[in-house]
Structure 1
């Protein structure tokens, strides 16, 4: 087989890259280890930055998002039993966020890929990247994980295969530096059959720990609460979850959390990770293969999208102008935005979560910071600017 770009992974990065390349007349083949059903049935929350939502519209894959997505003009920080609204739209000159689950984005992109005749191979196994530091890299794989070994020859490989995929390991250890941080807390997330308790997301800080009220649809709500990093889901009955959420979210203005049957619950760990560089030879990493952020800043999917916007521009410039400068600057451009997103996500995590090892002094500093950012125009503007999404900084050294 022969193509221009081999894409490893059909997550947000891989599928969005394929759609971007298609819009520019560039061929690609996607190789994915999961089945289509596994991808589309893995429920993941999603907060789309203004730029991500705009790109979906530009690429013609936004019909369902426009119908089903919920556009939010603001978010709420809640502490000391009082809510503090951050007006994103007003503070950023009209930018907003769209609540639209990640797996719904993937459904849209898969459908678009198939509709345009683009090749996507599901359920592949034994993926091997070869000659990535040459002008003719190759990918070997088996269809349906038990078939004969096949080979895909290409000009470029996009490693969009997540943290545990094979792509990153093909950047030699002598070349790459990996930065990581593991947080001492996790999120217990639930899906509940209930109408929305709030028209916008609530980020609640409480002495007992953090809580987040989000939404999936008018009938299904997504809610999280902070638990210990080593906690066990078996310790959390439905009654205990609701009791704890009520305590952490209670206010003095009569606001009420609406309960409903819990149809799914899980515990997700929190960590940060960055690989530098994000490229080696003809191999380019994107999305979770290159970086992980804690979910507090709502940046994971959006970083994946910004990565492939940069990569698609570099590949287009290479084919249409014979110029590889943008490709050579890929890591430099992406990592500027990645580290700013890591900063914001870590800031939000430190600001909103209860830290068991905090001294009384550190605790008071945390509360003073919450008071500052919710009462200062500068503090509010900084939260809003980062939350709706910073622009890509296209500077090259």
Structure 2
């Protein structure tokens, strides 16, 4: 036990990757959408996932050899479904993953999907503790769970702390679906965007919003208003599995989304990424739903419920979206030399599915997150890639 703990208030200068910090009765709650954007949202799914701090991390510089964090998670229990994984906290020392922990306690929200009712139970905060850290000045990062809302209650160390700084480091702003948020990854620092950011030497702001990459105007304005050196938007799967719009609406919505981003970032390298391979929705429209037969067997899987013949009336599939995104970006690139396109099949395609299938038919596993990250970094961040340092230097 350290001879004396130093308690440091958790403020915005200690948090990377959050766009807002809400003070609650028990601590502070990081948000990945600003308050004005949250006020324009009426969807419970989005309200849930934007409080799940994917890519958010406490970043400090210190000589401390021990650190404690009190946190209060909100965990969701879906009646009739297998238990969701407990959130993991990753400790990085000078960029290297050196420890992992989870907290006990916390609030629970039990959801009955057949009736739509919920039951909220409060619980106490828990504590994670990392000890025997190197006795030297170092950068510490505690990456927060990507899959559960997390109120931060107290930060204690055995030496003073200061905000970590990354002078000259580029900020990568990324938007996508639950795959970008981290679904089925092993831990928060090993989601594909976090791994790709480490490989590319960039500072990640992750706006991967599970089930909610839906071309919402307030999301586009958030991207517009967030400082960034490079931006990527991964579009497609949620528009299919929510069956939200038809091709007639999709095309102008994509143009409007990109136009809004360009209002705030007129010459920032902007990469449009199409969906990775997902057999259930390649040629079959949504909506997507749970596979009830799998649930009866205690497994979580998804299936598509649309009719492939409905593509003729404009219903979206992944094949349709990939073709249209390629056409839209090619059209716009004629007047926007800083706009680029990346086919999601280059990150994870049919051959990859044969080797590393999607466990629930929708989300990649931990090994696949790493593969996607490596391929994204190679294609996007490598020398003369679409959002590489060389292109940024030429832009400046």
The structure whose RCO (Cα within 8 Å, separation 6+) is larger is 1
**Fold shared by both chains (TM-score > 0.5):** no
Q: Which has the higher helix share?
A: 1
TM-score class, shorter-chain normalisation, is under 0.3
TM-score (ref. length: structure 1): 0.25
| TM-score, scaled to structure 2 | 0.25
